[in-house]
Amino acid sequence: ADCTSIDVDVTNGDLLATRPAFGGNLMATIACPEHRPQMATVRPGVFAKITTDPSKCKIEKVDVKLADSDVRTKVLETIKAKKDIVDIAEADFIVSGGRGVGNKENFQLLKELAEALGGTVAGSRAAVEKGWIDGAYQVGQTGKTVRPQIYIACGISGAIQHVAGMQDSDLIIAVNKDDSAPIMKIADYAIVGDLTKVVPELIAQVKEIKSAE
């Protein structure tokens, strides 16, 4: 369950499922050679959408009937999401903040940059736990997986739990004071500096470009 990658061993047909393990500190590839059929579930947004090719295999629909006694779970309560919540999994531009943002006031800078780009703001688990951003906007192993055109990571160290949720972004820009932070290694563009100075400059440049269009 919760796989970030799926492959098949061509020598024996075994399904190879890769997912975070040991608290998200490493990625484990799991195989079950003694069992058939084999199946796995993946995180939403992990794989790019592809066009269905019906000629590759035959799809058989099976009518499954379940009695009430077959279902061991019960829905105790349903809580509807807030209407103004944006689905970050569908966003083309994301400005995300982590512990390094420092405080909720600085997070407002990220929101301004996201609005200037026509995108949405997001955050790491640390930012959510500090109350700087709603949990619906969390990116990572315990949040959502995103694949935007541009992902700007501000004050995010780049722990594997977070990277698992954004590593397939088309373009990654990292803003961090620490040039040795893991996020800087996977970024297409790494900016070493204070985000409270860098982000306002980015906002100004984006607005200038848009006003000239």
Whole-prediction pTM value?
Answer: 0.71
Overall number of domains in the chain: 2
Flag whether 117 is in a domain: yes
For residue 33, the number of C-alpha atoms closer than 13 Å in the C-beta half-sphere is 5
> Considering only 40-54, 62-76, 123-137, which range has the smallest mean pLDDT?
40-54
Chain-centroid distance of CA 105 in Å reads 24
More confident residue, 10 or 47: 10
Flag whether 61 is in a domain: no
Provide, rounded to the nearest whole percent, the portion of the chain with pLDDT above 70.
Answer: 97
Flag whether 126 is in a domain: yes
Same domain, 112 and 199: yes
Q: What is the b/e burial string over 78-115, where b = at least 16 CB atoms within 10 angstroms of the residue's CB?
A: eeeeeeeeeebbebebbbbbbbbbbeeebbebbebbbe
Q: Mean pLDDT for the chain?
A: 89
Structure token digits, residue 146 = 């995103």
Asked if pLDDT for residue 134 goes beyond 80, the answer is yes
Chain-centroid distance of CA 39 in Å reads 23
Same domain, 95 and 17: no
Same domain, 96 and 175: yes
Flag whether 57 is in a domain: no
Structure token digits, residue 35 = 């069992």
pLDDT band at residue 79 using 50, 70 and 90 as cut-offs: confident
Same domain, 200 and 140: yes
Q: What is the pLDDT at residue 126? A: 94
Flag whether 52 is in a domain: no
Q: Which domain holds residue 154?
A: 88-212
pLDDT band at residue 195 using 50, 70 and 90 as cut-offs: very high
Flag whether 51 is in a domain: no
The arithmetic mean of pLDDT across residues 159-169, rounded, is 91
Q: What is the pLDDT at residue 100? A: 95
pLDDT band at residue 158 using 50, 70 and 90 as cut-offs: very high
Nearest to 136 by CA among 89, 196, 181: 89
The arithmetic mean of pLDDT across residues 163-178, rounded, is 94
Chain-centroid distance of CA 145 in Å reads 3
What is d(CA 42, CA 3) in angstroms, rounded to the nearest whole number?
4
Q: What is the pLDDT at residue 95? A: 98
Q: What is the pLDDT at residue 66? A: 87
Q: What is the pLDDT at residue 148? A: 95
Asked if pLDDT for residue 91 goes beyond 70, the answer is yes
Flag whether 77 is in a domain: no
Nearest to 182 by CA among 210, 158, 201: 158
Structure token digits, residue 9 = 């061993």
Nearest to 165 by CA among 46, 47, 85: 46
What is d(CA 109, CA 197) in angstroms, rounded to the nearest whole number?
10
Structure token digits, residue 137 = 């906007």
Flag whether 69 is in a domain: no
Provide, rounded to the nearest whole percent, the portion of the chain with pLDDT above 90.
Answer: 55
Nearest to 22 by CA among 163, 156, 158, 161: 161
